[in-house]
Structure 1
Amino acid sequence: MAQRLPASLTPLEVALDAVLRGLGPVAPIELPLAEALNCIAADMPPPGPHPPRDLAASDGWAMRSGDLVGASSYAPVPLTVPPAWVEAGEAMPDGTDCVVDADALDTSGPLPQVLAEAIPGQGVRRAGSDIAEGRAVTETGRRVLPRDLLRARAAGLETLSVRRPRLHLLNVPAGEITAGFIAEVARVAGAEVVRSEAPGRDVAAIAGALDVRGCDLVITIGGSGVGRADATVTALAGRGEVLAHGIALQPGRTAAVARIDATPVVALPGAPDQAFAAWCAIALPVLDRLSGSRARKTLALPLTRKVASSVGLAEVVLLERRQGTWAPLAVGELSLDAIARAEAWLVVPGDSEGFAADALVDAYMLRE
């Protein structure tokens, strides 16, 4: 049986404008490094250069390269002062700028003799070579990745300043698989996720579970259609203002956007494919606005084949990379296999009939 829809559909861009209106980034917080992973980095002062001074990069003798000019096994250069031995990672003694191997120094005679030349910086990790003076360990507005934590730990930091919106995910019973999936993708996107279950699918049960206290965004899963058991939108109308119900998005046409007080709400359908499409097209832009995220990573590649779309509906396309091109996996109807395999996604605008084969398209990456 065909799915019943709201009487009219709101264009995707109109629904997005309505729910994004007036939203700004949440306040930054300090989090331990492990907890900051995947959050959006906030502005913070640079930690200073690392290493803070020149270090030995290998075991050997610390010397001044200017004293070794012309040294060789045929013309050893005697030293009036014995050099200092350094282990890898130790600070270079003052006045030295190179480390020579152990066998480059002959200590058999009355004076130590150097048997090889060296250049400035040989065997040395220069101050600031890992993190330059004035360089931050994270890029403001970008997701914190493991490589950022590497630099932060090297710089001796224990916390990072990040923006992590608090997302309340309310599952209307019967959407457990979808709720778990959306909770996981929300955490990867940098949100702190608090999950709860509505005690029933009726209006009173859902309305009573719509708790916005301490939350920056509410996501509901299920009950957004127009069937007899679908009461989420009615509950939202009783608690706040429904901005749009029925969005010209395929899949995900029964999604809705609302506000309870100043908190944005995105009601996702209960089916995994519809929820994922509405998450990408609607909820993720809201989360990005709250986290202060810059434009998400995209990759422009030509299409292997034509993508046809119905005018009047924005359609989600899942893509897989093949030999330097984007191969469409699904358009408008998303199988779980396509969702699992997809490396990127894009939305065909509602006023477009799609994209021609070989057209260059800029797609949002699902994987790093």
Structure 2
Amino acid sequence: MTQRLPSSLTPLDTALAALLRGLDPVTPVELPLADAAGCIATGVPLLSASPLRDIAAVDGWALRANDLVGASSYSPLALIELPTWVEVGDVMPEGCDCVLDAGAVEISGRLALVLAEGVPGQGVARGGSDIAENAPAAVAGRPVDAAALLLARVAGVDKLSVRRPQLRIVNVPGATATMHMIAGFARAAGLDVSTHEAGSREETSIAEALDVSSCDLLVTTGGSGVGRADAAIAALVQCGAQLAHGLALQPGRTSAAGRLGKVPVVALPGSPGQALAVWLALALPLADRLSARQPRRTVALPLARKIASNVGIAEIALLVEEHKTWMPLAVDEWPLQAIARADAWLLIPASHEGFAAGEPADAYLMRE
């Protein structure tokens, strides 16, 4: 059966611009390292240098390289004083700038013979070599990753300043799998997600779950169509939402976007493919603005096959990388297996007729 559509479709660019207008990043919060993982960093705190001083990077004998010129197994160098033995992490003794292996020095009583030359810095970790003084724990506007957490832990920092917008997802019964999928993508984008089930598909029941008092972004899953059992849009309007119902986007034409009070709202269809397309094209840019995230990276590869598109409707294609090219998996409809296989997605503007085979395409990675 052909799906009924809203009476008019709002251009994707128009809907997105309206949602982003006047939308500021959320206030940063300090979170323990485990909770900050995946959130968008603000660039603070600035870390202390590590190591603070030159330390031994290997176990061995601490010496001064200039004192060892010419030393070899054929011409051992006798030392007036016994050298200092250091182990990994020990602060280098005053005046010493290299560490020789155990076998490079022979000790006999109070006599030490050096059997090899040294190079300044050999076996030494210089002060600030791991972490420069006042370096940020994580790059502002980028996700806090494992490397950032390592730097913080080495520097003795137990909290990071991040932006973590609050996302509330209200699910209409029948779209639970879609709700969990969107929640997973949202958490991967650094959002703090809470999910709520409407008691039924009735307008009043859905409206009771539409609480925006403690969220920065509201998303509904399911019930956005024009069928008799689709009441999400009516529930949002009942609560005072100003919405554009019907987007010139494929997949996802029956979605809606607007504001409930000052909070941006995106109503996603219950179909996983349609919901994901709208999430990527509309809700993800909102999440990035709220997080003050740097622009997402794209990867340019030639298309292995032509992608045709209808002028007047923005479309999203799912792609998989094959032999240094982007192979289209799905455009108009997104089967679940295509979603599972996709490496990237490509937004085709409404003014574009598509892409020819071999034409470079800048695609966003599904998982950075």
TM-score by length of structure 1 reads 0.97
Q: Tell me what 1:126 maps to.
A: 126
Q: Determine the C-alpha separation between the residues in 1 that align with 2:198 and 2:110.
A: 87
1:18·1:243 contact (CA, 8 Å) conserved in 2?
A: no
2:45·2:160 contact (CA, 8 Å) conserved in 1?
A: no
1:268·1:275 contact (CA, 8 Å) conserved in 2?
A: yes
Q: Determine the C-alpha separation between the residues in 1 that align with 2:109 and 2:210.
A: 86
Alpha-carbon deviation of 1:44?
1.0
Q: Which whole-Å deviations, capped at 9, do the CAs of 1:82-128 have from their partners, x for residues lacking one?
A: 11111112221121111001111121264212111000011111112
Q: Determine the C-alpha separation between the residues in 2 that align with 1:206 and 1:355.
A: 41
Cα-Cα RMSD:
1.2
Residue type at the aligned position of 2:280: C
Q: Determine the C-alpha separation between the residues in 2 that align with 1:88 and 1:64.
A: 17
Q: Tell me what 1:363 maps to.
A: 363
Alpha-carbon deviation of 1:169?
0.6
Alpha-carbon deviation of 1:324?
1.3
Secondary structure, counterpart of 2:190 in structure 1:
coil
Q: Tell me what 2:165 maps to.
A: 165
Q: Tell me what 1:217 maps to.
A: 217
Q: Tell me what 1:112 maps to.
A: 112
Map 1:76-155 → 2, pairs under 5 A: 76-108=76-108, 110-155=110-155
Secondary structure, counterpart of 2:284 in structure 1:
helix
Map 1:297-312 → 2, pairs under 5 A: 297-312=297-312
2:173·2:200 contact (CA, 8 Å) conserved in 1?
A: yes
Q: Tell me what 1:251 maps to.
A: 251
Residue type at the aligned position of 1:229: A
1:242·1:256 contact (CA, 8 Å) conserved in 2?
A: no
1:31·1:161 contact (CA, 8 Å) conserved in 2?
A: yes
Q: Which whole-Å deviations, capped at 9, do the CAs of 1:22-63 have from their partners, x for residues lacking one?
A: 101000011111111111111314202222211111110111
1:233·1:242 contact (CA, 8 Å) conserved in 2?
A: no
Q: Tell me what 1:292 maps to.
A: 292
Q: Determine the C-alpha separation between the residues in 2 that align with 1:306 and 1:88.
A: 58
Q: Tell me what 1:2 maps to.
A: 2
Alpha-carbon deviation of 1:143?
1.1
Establish whether residue 332 from structure 1 lines up as the match of residue 332 from structure 2: yes
Q: Determine the C-alpha separation between the residues in 2 that align with 1:324 and 1:129.
A: 37
Q: Tell me what 1:44 maps to.
A: 44
Secondary structure, counterpart of 2:352 in structure 1:
coil
Q: Which whole-Å deviations, capped at 9, do the CAs of 1:325-362 have from their partners, x for residues lacking one?
A: 11111112111111111111011111111011111111
Q: Which whole-Å deviations, capped at 9, do the CAs of 1:110-152 have from their partners, x for residues lacking one?
A: 4212111000011111112222233222110011111221222
Secondary structure, counterpart of 1:248 in structure 2:
strand
Alpha-carbon deviation of 1:213?
1.3
TM-score by length of structure 2 reads 0.97
Map 1:346-357 → 2, pairs under 5 A: 346-357=346-357
Map 1:25-64 → 2, pairs under 5 A: 25-64=25-64
Secondary structure, counterpart of 1:233 in structure 2:
helix
Q: Determine the C-alpha separation between the residues in 1 that align with 2:121 and 2:292.
A: 41
Q: Determine the C-alpha separation between the residues in 1 that align with 2:235 and 2:243.
A: 13
2:28·2:163 contact (CA, 8 Å) conserved in 1?
A: yes
Q: Determine the C-alpha separation between the residues in 1 that align with 2:153 and 2:118.
A: 32
The alignment-based identity, stated in percent, is 58
1:5·1:254 contact (CA, 8 Å) conserved in 2?
A: yes
Q: Determine the C-alpha separation between the residues in 2 that align with 1:14 and 1:139.
A: 31
Establish whether residue 344 from structure 1 lines up as the match of residue 333 from structure 2: no
Q: How many residues align?
A: 368
1:15·1:243 contact (CA, 8 Å) conserved in 2?
A: no
The more displaced of 4-13 and 237-246 is 237-246
Secondary structure, counterpart of 1:206 in structure 2:
helix
Q: Which whole-Å deviations, capped at 9, do the CAs of 1:185-231 have from their partners, x for residues lacking one?
A: 11011000011111111111111110111100011001111111111
Gaps of 5+ in 2: none
Gaps of 5+ in 1: none
Alpha-carbon deviation of 1:261?
1.2
